[in-house]
Amino acid sequence: MVPPPHIPTRPFDRSRVAFQPIFGPEGRVHGLEALMRFFPAGLANESPDSALSTESVFEAARREGRIMELDFYCRQQAMAEIAEQSFAGLLFLNINPASLLNESHSVGRTDDLAERYGIPKERIVLEITEETAIQDYALFARTVEHYRDQGYRIAIDDFGSGYAGLKMLASIRPDYLKIDRYFVSEIHREPVKHSIVSALVRICDSLGIHLVAEGIETGSEFHSILNLGVEFRQGYYFCHPVFQLSDIPGRIPEEVSQGV
């Protein structure tokens, strides 16, 4: 096991990758999102929900110029774990746009990992969250295109929050669009959210983009999302992030089944 990078202002000595399923039609597991969990030293009971805030760890790494290192570490751990637990569906990896742009050998390094762990690139979906404004959109779009040409699939994460907006959708033309949980929360009571998601279903339909609703927490939210025709679904209502894939309810594709 590779030890996690040491971030002096955010001390942790252990980390584990949790996975949260993304369900498709008929409750099948379509893919897993890898979510790194960091634990403070000496914690007795590690559970996916008792970790340090991931944002605070990434923020500390950013301040100390260790973001690429941490990003790469997370990618490596997720692939290692997926290889170990034999999963043949899609693997959704969160990637910071800054590390896509700045890490000059990023594609090559990710390719090396995929090869080392025997994961076909076609089964890897890079989830891009736009946390800060992208300065050079043309360069960003070219970088993403480069990954896609290599076989990776692309998702826009947290769509509609912060900077991840229509400009990103138009310039990237992702394979997946993940609607931010803000628009899912209480959707059955808030007509504006309902209208926005409804419009997104139409936009994605006409562009051939798979739509994912994230952060579904209640049956009522699920009901609305289902009625609106959103193809893929994720959230605590179905399954919290887990360390063991055997804890996931539903049909999970395994290595032997070949299917994606």
Is residue 96 a contact residue for Mn ion (CB under 5 A)? no
CB of 78 to ligand G, least distance (A): 12
| Helix pair 137-149, 106-116: axis angle to 10 deg | 30
The set of long-range contacts for 245-250, using a CB threshold of 8 Å and a minimum separation of 24, is 245/19, 245/32, 245/85, 245/87, 248/19, 248/21, 248/29, 250/21, 250/23, 250/27, 250/28, 250/29
Binding mask 84-123 for ligand G (x = CB under 6 A): ----------x-----------------------------
Cα(110)–Cα(121) distance, integer angstroms: 9
Single out the residue of 15, 20, 94, 110 in contact with Mn ion (rule: CB under 5 A): 94
CB of 138 to ligand G, least distance (A): 25
Cβ closest to ligand G, residue 62 vs residue 254: 62
Cα(22)–Cα(28) distance, integer angstroms: 8
Chosen from ligand G, Mn ion, none, partner binding at 15 (C-beta under 5 to 8 Å by type): none
Single out the residue of 129, 140, 143, 253 in contact with ligand G (rule: CB under 6 A): 129
Is residue 35 a contact residue for ligand G (CB under 6 A)? yes
Residue nearest to Mn ion (CB): 157
Number of residues that bind ligand G (CB under 6 A): 15
Cβ closest to ligand G, residue 16 vs residue 254: 16
Is residue 130 a contact residue for Mn ion (CB under 5 A)? no
CB of 93 to Mn ion, least distance (A): 9
Residue nearest to ligand G (CB): 235
Q: Which of the ranges 22-30, 64-72, 106-114, 211-219 carries the binding residues for ligand G, by CB under 6 A?
A: 211-219
Residues 6 or more apart from 106 whose CB is under 8 A from it? 99, 100
Contact 35, 18 (CB under 8 A): yes
Binding mask 155-194 for ligand G (x = CB under 6 A): --xx----------------------x-------------
Residues that bind Mn ion (CB under 5 A): 94, 127, 157
Residues that bind ligand G (CB under 6 A): 20, 35, 54, 94, 129, 157-158, 181, 214-217, 235-236, 241
